[in-house]
Structure 1
Amino acid sequence: MRKVSVILPTHNRADLLQSAVHSVLNQTFRDFELIIIDDHSTDHTTNVIKRFNDKRINYLQNTGKNGPSIARNFGMKNATGKYIAFLDDDDEWFPDKLEKQIRILDLAKPDVCGIYSRPLIIERKTGNVILNETKVKKLRGSLLSQLMIKNPIQTSTLIIRKVCIDKIGMFDENMRYMEDRDLFIRLAMNWDFEYIDEPLTKKFHHGYEHLSENLSGQTIGREVILRRYSDLLKTKKRSWSLMHICLGAQYCQMGKMKQGRKNLLKGIVIYPFNKISFFHLFASFWGKNNYQRIRHAYKSSAIE
C-alpha cells in the first residue's frame, strides 16, 4: 500500500501523456502509486505506457462508459493510498509538488480534507507563461462561499484525504462539465482546505479551438449546480446572484441573448448591487459579436 494514489485519466493524448507521467515519476516524494486510466484511447497510448519500467504504475483500461468523471472514479475505486492526487494528461507537476503538500497535510487537523496550490498557466505552443496567478486571491479554510461564486481550485493541484471521498462520494458521473466544482462544494460543506501559495503544477493552455463546446457544457454544468444547491445559494444572495450573472454572460457569449438576459435580470433581482450585471445586461442588447467586443473591453473576474 502506498501513501498517495495519483489518478491520471487519459484519452488520445499519447504525445502529451509521456511528459505528465515523467513529472509524477520524478517526484522527490516517492511513496505513491500512479494509476493511469486509459479512457477508450485509439492512439498509441498503450505503447507509451509500456516504455515505462516502474512498478508504481498501475495501467487500467476503461472498457465501460467513457468520460472524465467515470475515468477518475474508476481510478479511485482501485486506489489504495491514504491520499488521492489528481493529474490531467496534459498537465505536469513540479518535482517537489507531492513532498510540499504531503508535509502540510500530514500535520493538518482532521477538519481539513485536502490541499491545493497555485498553478502556472502556460501557452502550449509557445511555452510562454500566461498566468502565474500571483495576484489572484486564494483561500484556505472554508471555501464554500467562494465555490458558489468561482472555483479557485485547479484539479491537478489538489490532494484529498481518501477518507473524505469515501464519506461524501466521488465525481458525479452524469456531469461532463463542472463535475470537479460539484465535488469541491460537497467537500467544502463538510471540511476546510489548506493552500500553498506557490506554483507546483504546470497547467497548459491549448487555445480556443473548443471554446463554443466548452461554453455549452459549462452552462449545462452551472444549471445543474444552481438546481442542486438552490437551498444553500438562497441563503447567500450575492453568490446566488453571481451564479446567474455568470450563466447569463455565458449564454450571451454563445449568442443566446434571450436566455442570457433572463439570467442577468434574475441576478439583478436577487442582488441589485453587483454593478457588473448591469454592464452585461446593457451589452447583451448589441448582439453576439458586439457583446464579445464590449465584454473584452471590460473583463470581469466574475465571468471566468
Structure 2
Amino acid sequence: MTEQTTRPVPESRRSDHPDVVVSIGTDHHAFDRLVRWIDDYARRHRDLHILVQHGHSAAPEVAAGTRFLPGEELGSHMREARVVVTHGGPGTIVQARDAGHLPVVVARDPELDEHVDDHQLLFVRRLEEAGRIRACSSPQQLSALIDKALTSPEDFRVRPSSGDGPERAALRAGQLIDLLTDAPAEPGTTEVVRDPADTWPEVTVVVPTRDRPELLRRTLRAIEEQRYPGRITTIVVFDNNLPDPALARADGERPVRVVTNTLTPGLAGARNTGVLAADTDLVAFCDDDDTWMADKLRAQVEVMRAEPDTEVVCCGIRVVYDRVEAVRSLDRTSVTFGDLLASRLTELHPSTFLIRRRAMIDGCGTVSEEIPGSYGEDYELLLRLAKRTPIRNIPEPGVRVLWHRRSHFSGRWQTISTALRWLLERYPEFRLVPRGYARVAGQIAFAEASAGSRGTALRWIGTTLRHRPSEGRAYLALLVVCGMPPGWITRALHLRGKGV
C-alpha cells in the first residue's frame, strides 16, 4: 500500500511527525463526519500539525491528509504524536495502544452509512467501560478530549506492548473483541446492573407508531439496551394501522405491550392512550424514529429521585439529517414558562420527555387532542407543565433524533399553519412577548407561502415584521413567496440541525 498525499502540510507547520494523528482505517465506507470534526478543530488550532489518514473518506480541507499509509509509517507517526484519534476499528485501536497512546475514538455509525452494522458502537462502548480508550460522540467532546490530551499527556499514555507483527496484532484485536462477549448473553435478554438499595422506580415508555416497522424496531432495541437499574415497560401504540403482536414481550426487566390508539387519531391521541394505560409514576415519550443513548434514562431518573418536586426532565439531542449530525443542547438546567413563550427551544424534544404521570392526570391534563393535526402538541404540553413548575433540563445529549422525508409533518404546510394559529389564540400571553409572537407568526407565514397561499403569507409576513423587524422567518417566507422552493430552505436548515 503506497502513500497518496491529498493535502500537503504548510511549511509553517511542517515537522518530522505530526502533533495529532487521525486514522480512519481502510473501510470502504466514508467517515466524512470525523474528517469534518477534525477540520473544524484544525481551523481553531493553526499552530498544530494535524495529519489525517482518511482512506475512502473526503480529504480534509485544513488538516494535512493522506489516503493510506504503510503500517510501519503510520505506527511511527503514532509513536511520535502527542495525540492519536481513531475510528472504532479493532486493528487501528490496537496499533494506537501499541504506540503508547490511550486513543480518542469515534465509532462509525451505520445510521449515517458509515458502516454496515453497529458493531463499532457496541465495541467502543465496551472498551470505554474497560478503560482501554476515550470515546466521544460529538465535535465538542472531541475538541475537549484533544485539548486535554495536549495539556495532560500523562492521562492519555499507556505502556507500549513489546513485540510486533500481524499475528500479535490480530491476537490483541481478538482479546479486545472478547470484551463484547465476556458476559453471559441469552437471546432477547439485557444485562441490568442493580443498585444495591434497589430503589430505582419503574418507568413506562410510550412509543406511538405508524407505518415505520424497521425504525420502530431500532427504537425498541435502544430502549431495551438502556443502562438503567430499574424496570422499563414499553407501551407501543399503533395509530391508524394494525398492531404487530410479535413485538409484545411479557417477561424480564424490559417487557413490551402492544396496544391500539383508542382516542383521537393522531399523535396526541396515541400518546394519551399510552399514558392512560401506564401504571407507573414516571412516564417517558419516545417517537418511533428516534433512539435513546444508553445512559439517557438513568441520568433523568437521578434528577427525579433527587428532586421530588420536579415534574418534567428533558435533555439535549443529536439531530441526524441526510447523514449529517448536529448536537442541539441547552446550556441551562431550568426552563420557565416565559422562556418557552420567547422561544420554542426545539432542544426540548418530546423523545427526551420524562414526566411524572400525576402531573398530567391530576394536574395540567394530558396531551391536547384539540390541536389541529396534533402539530406542536409536545410544545403545548410543555407550556402547560411549565406553568406549574420549571422544566428541568440535562444539557448533555441523550437522544438521537432522525429528521427525514418520512417525518410525520414533512410538507403538511396547511396543517402546520392551522395548528400554529390555534396556539396563538389559545395562549394570549404570546402578545406580551413580541419575540415569541413574531417567531410563531413567521412560522405561519412560511407555512402559508409553502402551501401556495401567497396573499395570506404576505399578511403574516407583515404581522411578523411589525412585532419584530429582525425575525428571520419573515424573510425566509418572502423568499418562498418570490419563488424559492421551500424544500431548499428546510434542507439547508436541517443540515445544520435547525428547523423553521
Tell me the TM-score normalized by structure 2: 0.53
- The within-5 A match list for 1:162-181 is 162-166=357-361, 167-175=363-371, 176-181=374-379
CA distance in 1, matches of 2:451, 2:223: 38
2:396 maps to 1:198: yes
- Give the counterpart letter for 2:334 in structure 1: G
CA distance in 1, matches of 2:267, 2:409: 18
2:411 maps to 1:213: yes
CA distance in 1, matches of 2:395, 2:377: 24
Maintained 8 Å contact 1:283/1:294: no
2:359 maps to 1:161: no
- Give the one of 454, 465, 471 matched to 1:257: 454
Question: Who is 1:130 aligned against?
Answer: 325
Output one character per residue of 1:198-230: Cα deviation in whole Å (capped at 9) or x when no partner. Answer: 221121222378766333322121111011002
Maintained 8 Å contact 1:257/1:287: no
Q: Tell me, what secondary structure is at the counterpart of 1:37?
A: strand
Output one character per residue of 1:74-118: Cα deviation in whole Å (capped at 9) or x when no partner. Answer: 1111112121101111211112111111112221261x3211111
Percent identity (aligned)? 20
CA distance in 2, matches of 1:7, 1:139: 26
Maintained 8 Å contact 2:262/2:269: no
CA distance in 2, matches of 1:295, 1:35: 32
Maintained 8 Å contact 1:177/1:220: no
Deviation at 1:197, TM superposition (A): 1.9
Tell me the TM-score normalized by structure 1: 0.83
Mark the runs of 5 or more structure 2 residues left unpaired by the alignment. 1-199
Deviation at 1:119, TM superposition (A): 1.3
Q: Tell me, what secondary structure is at the counterpart of 2:270?
A: helix
- Give the one of 27, 31, 52 matched to 2:231: 31
Deviation at 1:2, TM superposition (A): 5.4
Change (3 A) 1:278 1:54: closer
Question: Who is 2:338 aligned against?
Answer: 145
Structure 1 moving runs of 4+ over 6 Å = 208-211, 291-303
CA RMSD across the alignment? 3.1
Deviation at 1:139, TM superposition (A): 4.0
CA distance in 2, matches of 1:295, 1:86: 26
2:483 maps to 1:287: yes
- Give the counterpart letter for 1:47 in structure 2: A
Maintained 8 Å contact 1:93/1:201: yes
Change (3 A) 1:266 1:298: same
- The within-5 A match list for 1:1-304 is 3-29=202-228, 30-42=230-242, 45-49=244-248, 54=252, 56-63=255-262, 65-108=264-307, 110=309, 112-123=310-321, 128-133=323-328, 137-148=330-341, 149-152=343-346, 153-166=348-361, 167-175=363-371, 176-207=374-405, 213-230=411-428, 232-272=429-469, 274=470, 276=472, 279-280=475-476, 283=479, 286-289=482-485, 304=500
Maintained 8 Å contact 1:8/1:35: yes
Deviation at 1:293, TM superposition (A): 6.3
CA distance in 2, matches of 1:205, 1:284: 21
CA distance in 1, matches of 2:474, 2:220: 46
Maintained 8 Å contact 1:264/1:280: no
Higher relative contact order (CA 8 A, sep 6+): 1
Output one character per residue of 1:269-300: Cα deviation in whole Å (capped at 9) or x when no partner. Answer: 2344x2536634754662354x7768988999
CA distance in 2, matches of 1:78, 1:217: 28
Mark the runs of 5 or more structure 1 residues left unpaired by the alignment. none
Greater shift in the superposed pair: 210-219 or 237-246: 210-219
Change (3 A) 1:211 1:187: closer
CA distance in 1, matches of 2:266, 2:445: 27
- Give the counterpart letter for 2:305 in structure 1: D
